[in-house]
Every structure is written in structure tokens, then in C-alpha cells.
Amino acid sequence: MSVLPVVLKARTLHTATMIFLHGLGDTGHGWAGILNTIRPDYMKIVCPTAPSIPVSLNNGMVMPAWYDIKDISSDNSAIREDIQGVEASTKVLQTLIDMEALALKDAGRSRIMIGGFSQGGAIALNTLLRANDKGKLAGCAALSTYIPGMMQRSDMPDLKGKIETPIFHCHGEDDQMISFERGKLTSEALSNLAPNNEFHSFPYMGHEANQEEMDLLQQFFIKHLPPLLTPVDEL
């Protein structure tokens, strides 16, 4: 059963959209509240909530999750992550992007950012990899996350062309859920795939977000989604 996303309408005329996916066990409400404090007035926020499924990592407990995680300690991505679930959630995000592109009319994908925390960030990055030929988005925010299925350098994705979408990537150096080593490996892969990629690491930060990170994300919004001189009429 799908859950309607949390939607925060733009405070002024809608000319940009951020679609942001939460992490394991969370809902869209928490991140909608955080993003509401840093968004420009013309930005609409869309924060979907994942369906509730049994999560193997948590002894089969049912909770919101974009895909099943089987064994967080495994170095084998086939054992660690449910890739079929990743692809299913990627299609959900792609559908949301298409809907927002219609709402933004001629500006389309160029005024849409995607992003996510942890599992949600993994879906956002996978969407960039899967839809690299559909046109540039305004940006992607990948917080405390990884590229699904990539556990070592030999797993790095090989794309025909570079990712043009700017990427904002952050990771805590004390993250106990997704190791900083995996964060650095993700950063290395993104640097090879996307010329416009920035990586920020935070000492003493665990699997969480902090204010410094949010301040940098706000700057990323302003840099890559500045006000439009000619506004886009919302449907």
C-alpha cells in the first residue's frame, strides 16, 4: 500500500522542486520539516514515505524501507542489499520526477533536485545512474549513503557518458551504520562519474545530519536553483 508523500508547497510562485527520500524506518515528515527551514521560498518540497516491509536486518520487523537490507556486516552486496527492491524504488522516484517535470512545464528536469539520506540517498544515486540519458537535473543531494551494489573498486559503475547533474555528497567520519570507508569509496566513484561533484566529510558525526551539513545544502540549493527571471507558471 502506497503512502501519499508529504508535500510543502512553495511559499511564492513555484519554480523549483526538491524530492527527498528518507532513511530506513523513517517517514517523509521528518525530512520535510528539516528542508522547510533551508529551502528558498520558490521551492516545493516532496518527501515520499517508503512502503512498510519486513526488514531482515531487524529480525523481520515491519517498517518503512525503500528495500530490504539483509546483512549490514557483509562485504558481498548481493547478500547485503535487495537490488530488486532498489530498482522498484528507483522507478517510484523516476515517476515523481516525471510528475514534477510536467508541473514545471518548459523548465522541466532542469529545475528539479533529488536527494536522500542513507537508503533514500542510495535510491537517488541509483536513479542518476539509471536515467543518465534523460537529461540533467538541477542537483542530487546524497547524505550518509552509497551506490547500491558497490562494495569495492571492482564494483564501480561504468557509464557511457558522464553524469551532468551536480552532486552534493556528505558523510560522517564516525558513521557506524554505513562506514566512512564506504562513503569514501562512493565519493571516488562519483568523482569518476560526475565532473560536478562535491564531497564533505564531518569529524565526530555518526549516521545523522548536522547543522553545518544543512547550511552547505542550503548553499547548494541557491547555487544550482537560483531565482528565475521569468517564473514558471504552476499547473
Range of the domain at 218: 3-224
Mean pLDDT by 10 residues, the chain (235 residues): 82 96 96 97 97 93 94 59 93 95 88 97 95 86 93 69 94 96 94 94 97 98 89 47
110 is an active site residue: no
- Other C-beta atoms closer than 10 Å to the C-beta of 80 total 19
DSSP H or E stretch at residue 172: strand 167-172
Is residue 175 annotated as part of the catalytic site, yes or no?
yes
Give pTM, 2 decimals: 0.93
The identity of residue 60, as a single letter, is G
- The one catalytic residue in 14, 22, 82, 118 is 118
Of the listed 26, 89, 175, 224, which one is catalytic? 175
Q: Is residue 16 part of a domain?
A: yes
> Does residue 232 lie in a domain region?
no
- Look up the CATH number of the domain holding residue 192: 3.40.50.1820
98 in catalytic set: no
> How many structural domains are present in the chain?
1
> Strand 112-117 to strand 52-55: parallel, antiparallel, or no bridges (unpaired)?
unpaired
1 burial type by CB count under 10 A (0-12 exposed, 13-18 middle, 19+ buried): exposed
